[in-house]
Structure 1
Amino acid sequence: MLYIDANGPEWSASDPDNLPALVKRLKSEPLDPIYEGIGNFIVPYRPSGTAGETKRFKGCTHFFGHFATSSYVFSLVTDEKTVIDSLTAEIRMNQCRPDYQKIKVNAKI
């Protein structure tokens, strides 16, 4: 299961972009390092609503954050191992980028 809550310019009312669009952006621009302090972009999903939500997302991983140099936000929940592995690797590679590291140092994070 893959649920994309947001993936695109801020929390727009339009349909979210697809997963390849997020991966492409992760390869081309730095994430905002502020998210290191609130889960480091990847956390076990914590349901906050109904019993149905709890059952639907049990055992899922939540990916969330935004980019430092553009107005682009993402929030998605999945239990698909290939998606989890791929996004985790892309996010960790993004955090190794020189521009990400420079932003992090300048922000004193």
Structure 2
Amino acid sequence: MNNKTLVFGASLKPNRYSNYAIQRLVANNFETVAFGLKKGAISGVEVDTELLYYDDIHTVTLYLNPKRQKEFYNYIVSLNPKRVIFNPGTENPELFSILKENNIFFEAACTLVLLSTNQY
């Protein structure tokens, strides 16, 4: 599958949803990259602590609360993803508007549910 996904707000803690999302994306053969506060690896995916300009990002799945997202608006838009998924608790009307202005599809959904129901 070619839907390269950036897990934004990745946590090395195994009980965090972002961590589980990386595990499920890898298990479902999605090319996965991750950005988080602490460097490490989850299911073979290195968590980057610097903002890298990845090529061909299809989906950005957010695991960062709205207050923390603001400093990353330009970065997310610059990746020109096909979609941004706002996982529960990350919904952000201000970023919704910015994405809409830049013709980037977004949805408030749960990556884990989308994967488990084959809707990803």
> TM-score, normalization: structure 1?
0.25
Relative contact order: is structure 1 or structure 2 higher (C-alpha 8 Å, sep ≥ 6)?
Answer: 1
> TM-score, normalization: structure 2?
0.24
Q: Highest CA radius of gyration, 1 or 2?
A: 1
Higher relative helix content: 1
